[in-house]
Amino acid sequence: MISKIKYKRVLLKISGEALLGKKPYGLDPQIVNFLANEIKKVYIRKIQISVVVGGGNIFRGHNAASVGIERTTADYMGMLGTVINALALQSALEKNNVHTRVLSSIPIPAVCESYIRRRAINHMKKKRVIIFAAGTGNPYFTTDTAAALRASETSSDLILKGTQVDGVYTEDPKKNKKATKYDAISYKDVLSKNLKIMDGSAVALARDNKIPIVVFPINKQNSFLNAILNKGSFTIIK
């Protein structure tokens, strides 16, 4: 029996670190292929999918700024890291027969398309997965904020934040074994308790546009699909 799906269009947020695998730097091809397979499981259910991928496995702007690179320049370098990740994920998806387009907030016409809202929506209507690259195209904004922005612009029904843990906890469960998990939590409580699952501007933007956020374990098989089907272990923020 196929579970009923109530979401037509979703946005998946993947951190750059999720692509590392066991490597200290760069991309693990096995992880990229795993993620492509997980996305395909949702794609074949005829759900429109967009993806925002971070760049922390390649370059982290705020870290570079701390060692002397001017912050704006460092952030643009980080944006280029997200383009590398987006192209890698596009390649893996297309090898799985999933039609994919990369749309960059920074124009790179020889490499990918530039982001235009109506173009992105049209691609999704034509059953193509969209990968949004280069964050918002502006320094000082995280890819979490880019995810909330693109989800709002494209009228997405749900933001899914893939992490290394199975939801939102009272504290970092890797540091405190006694931390407890929330099955559901409000935007207000995430912000007031300063829970570090997404940056505050991203949570506030999702709240203002009434887009729920699901936090789920990206590294577990079927977890992306299960979160959409309201199965498995995750936290919903709404």
Share of the chain above pLDDT 70, in %: 97
Q: Which of 104, 7, 91 is nearest to 52 (CA)?
A: 104
Cα gap 221→165, rounded to integer Å: 13
Cα gap 88→109, rounded to integer Å: 17
- Min mean pLDDT across 52-66, 82-96, 191-205 is at 52-66
Has residue 4 got a pLDDT over 70? no
pLDDT band of 183, cuts 50, 70, 90: very high
User: How are beta strands 9-14 and 48-53 bridged, if at all?
Assistant: parallel
Structural domains in the chain, CATH included, are 9-237 (3.40.1160.10)
Counting beta carbons within 10 angstroms of the beta carbon of residue 28, is it exposed (0 to 12), middle (13 to 18) or buried (19 or more)?
Answer: middle
The pLDDT of residue 3 is 57
Q: Which helix (H) or strand (E) holds 152?
A: helix 143-153
Has residue 1 got a pLDDT over 50? no
Average pLDDT over residues 124-147: 97
Cα gap 152→209, rounded to integer Å: 6
pLDDT band of 174, cuts 50, 70, 90: confident
Has residue 10 got a pLDDT over 70? yes
pLDDT in tens, 26-81: 999 999 999 999 999 999 999 999 999 999 999 876 677 677 889 899 999 999 99
Q: Which of 37, 38, 20 is nearest to 29 (CA)?
A: 20
Has residue 2 got a pLDDT over 60? no
Average pLDDT over residues 123-148: 97
Maximum Cα–Cα distance for the chain, whole Å? 57
